[in-house]
Amino acid sequence: MANRWGYRDLGFGIGLRSVHFQHILEKQPPIDWFEVLSENYMDTGGRPLHVLDQVAERYPLVLHGVSLSVGSKDPVNLEYLKKLKSLAARVKANWVSDHLCWCGITGLNTHDLLPMPYTTEALRHTIERVKIIQDVLERPIALENASTYLEFAASTWPESEFLAALAEEADCGILLDVNNVYVSSYNHGFDPKAYIDRIPRDRVVQMHLAGHTNKGTHIIDTHNDYVIDSVWELYKYAHRRLGGVATLLEWDANIPSFTIVHGEALKARKLREQEDLSGVTATPELDEVPAYGD
Amino acid sequence: MATNPGLEKIQRWMQACILNQGTAEEAIASDAAQAAIPADQARDVVLPSKTLSSLERLDVYRDMYLLRMEEALSIDYPSLKHFLGENEFMRLVARYVDVYPSRSYTLNRLGDHLCEFIATLDDMPRKDFCLDLACLEYALTWVFDAGETPPMTTEQVKAVPPDAWEHARLKPVEAFRLLAFEYPVSRYAGAVDEENPFPRIARKKTWVVAYRANYNLHRMDLTQPAYELLSALAAGKTMGEAIESVMIRKWRPAVKEAHLFEWFRDWMAEGFFQSVELGVTTAV
């Protein structure tokens, strides 16, 4: 099922990483698309931007940021948005995404994706900020469910319902990170399939897959390894639920060769093709997403 | 007990706890954290899981913070990290971000104040050497990210009438930095390898130009006269003024015309200059 904006299913992509620059420019591999870390290209006039321009000529790109800090109580950073908008236009980004999180307050940046308390106050605040951000960017953004390692006692919403309500009220998209659903479900003890069931199908524009590090007592979203079987199973479930959605394989640390990373992304294609051939139908549409006033 | 102190207090509290470099108990008891949420209520803010207490869950974020800062700075200051070693470099990072936490949306700017911070330290081993090394590596990050300006072509140089050079002003490309050091840090950074992991260090004034050509970073060692000549040109002096003040008044007879010819030939070949202004109004 297509998303409500008509963003096409780009297929199976990987992150654009500097260690792969030479391979990409020389070999021009047959990869569907790349995801670009926005902040790496917003303040440089050097080689990374030069390579990005060349990659953008040949491959579909999306921008994915980590500093939008959409849930912070700090004012919206208009200077950041101006640069992001300029970059998106430069590379003709298919869409722009970031995370449902906050990164800092009082002008500081921890450079982490810090968890939100899922309260009505936080939801109302974040809805307004997303609307401002989208007005400035003149396009909808997609927000990713980040891996989280703690929960606040103040929370009155399940994360999935908070995200769904935010997307509906702010009219934004969702980047469903399947690995993050798994990681957070492990850390907090919720049912990952029930989480996916609450995500409005027509708002999902992209999915992420990644490896992680299991510490026993908790899992950290490290993006430094292959995707584990349980996450592949969850991806199959998400595909059955949501249909064909652009899928990205994240590998950001201990990065192996382009071929290995791309190969991991292509596993997702194979799984999806197997699911489609098996003729498994999508689950019935669930009840309406609760509005935040409920 | 206030389990919902409000979004802003939660964020101020959590950030204060993350930035605090003590234990979790010390963090929640810090002035910054207690300004948002009193310590006796802190453990009620975060729910425990089946496997971790509330403070242990908070520690997951606290532990990652310094590691992330160290990782970012080690990318920009690899030679400094190599010289100091992992433990001492991490100690420097911890002290540095305590004074200069990030205020930018990009980690690329995290090290902007590292040189000035090192200059304030009283207990740093080989401080002057480390300061020079840090300043070199900071300059390299700056040059790496500078805007791209195409260098002058051979044809553009040849187009300048010979008698116009005296009053011409050469403008360096944007990705260009002139550096003066008390130590030969550029040579040190280039000399470190597996067979020579810790080259000998001796104080000796050196001069370097860091620049970018074809999007690749380069360093060129300079003599002091060459450095002063380039500095005069970069400051906007005409060729005649630069040569007279640096060469004729100061360095004659040590530096001869042949040196000048070689320097300009090499500098043009490396693409140091983006344009030349002839007289007052005409640019080539």
Radius of gyration of chain B from its Cα atoms, rounded to whole angstroms: 26
Nearest to A45 among B58, B101, B147 (CB): B147
Residues of B in contact with A43 (CB under 8 A): 106, 108-109, 145
Give the type of residue at A77: N
- CB of A99 closer than 8 Å to CB of A146: yes
CB contact under 8 A, B47 and A44: no
CB contact under 8 A, A46 and B145: yes
- CB of B30 closer than 8 Å to CB of B22: yes
Instruction: For residue range B54-78, list pLDDT tens digits in order.
Output: 999 999 999 999 999 999 999 999 9
| Most B CBs within 10 Å, among A44, A150, A255, to test the B interface | A150
The mean pLDDT of A3-8, rounded to a whole number, is 94
The mean pLDDT of A199-210, rounded to a whole number, is 97
Beta-bridge partners for A120: none
CB contact under 8 A, B49 and A112: no
Q: Which pLDDT score, from 0 to 100, does residue B196 have?
A: 76
Residues of B in contact with A114 (CB under 8 A): 11, 14-15, 18, 61
Residues of A in contact with B50 (CB under 8 A): 189
Nearest chain A residue to B71, by CA:
A253
- CB of A12 closer than 8 Å to CB of A245: no
Q: Pick from A1, A5, A2: which is nearest to A172 by CA?
A: A5
Instruction: For residue range A141-176, list pLDDT tens digits in order.
Output: 999 999 999 999 999 999 999 999 999 999 999 999
Q: B145 to chain A nearest CA, in Å?
A: 4
The DSSP secondary-structure symbol of B108 reads G
Nearest to B57 among A44, A80, A150 (CB): A150
Is residue A18 packed enough to be buried (19+ CB in 10 Å), middle (13-18) or exposed (0-12)? exposed
How many C-beta atoms surround the C-beta of residue B284 within 10 A? 16
> What is the rounded CA–CA span in Å between residue A173 and residue A50?
30
How many C-beta atoms surround the C-beta of residue A19 within 10 A? 11
Residues of B in contact with A149 (CB under 8 A): 57, 60-61
Percent with pLDDT over 90 in chain B: 83
> What is the rounded CA–CA span in Å between residue A288 and residue A277?
30
- Which is higher by pLDDT, A179 or B194? A179
Q: Pick from B190, B196, B4, B147: which is nearest to A151 by CA?
A: B4
| Confidence band, pLDDT 50/70/90 cuts, at residue A254 | very high
- CB of B129 closer than 8 Å to CB of B183: yes
Sign of the alpha-carbon dihedral angle for A64, A68, A70, A71: positive
The mean pLDDT of B24-30, rounded to a whole number, is 98
| Most A CBs within 10 Å, among B9, B13, B15, to test the A interface | B15
- CB of A103 closer than 8 Å to CB of A114: yes
What is the value of ipTM here, to two decimals?
Answer: 0.93
Is residue B270 scored above 80 in pLDDT? yes
Q: Which pLDDT score, from 0 to 100, does residue A290 have?
A: 45
Tokens matching residue A124: 């109302």
Instruction: For residue range A104-137, list pLDDT tens digits in order.
Output: 999 999 999 999 999 999 999 999 999 999 999 9
Reported pTM: 0.93
The mean pLDDT of A218-236, rounded to a whole number, is 97
CB contact under 8 A, B145 and A112: no
Q: Which pLDDT score, from 0 to 100, does residue B200 have?
A: 83
Residues of B in contact with A80 (CB under 8 A): 105
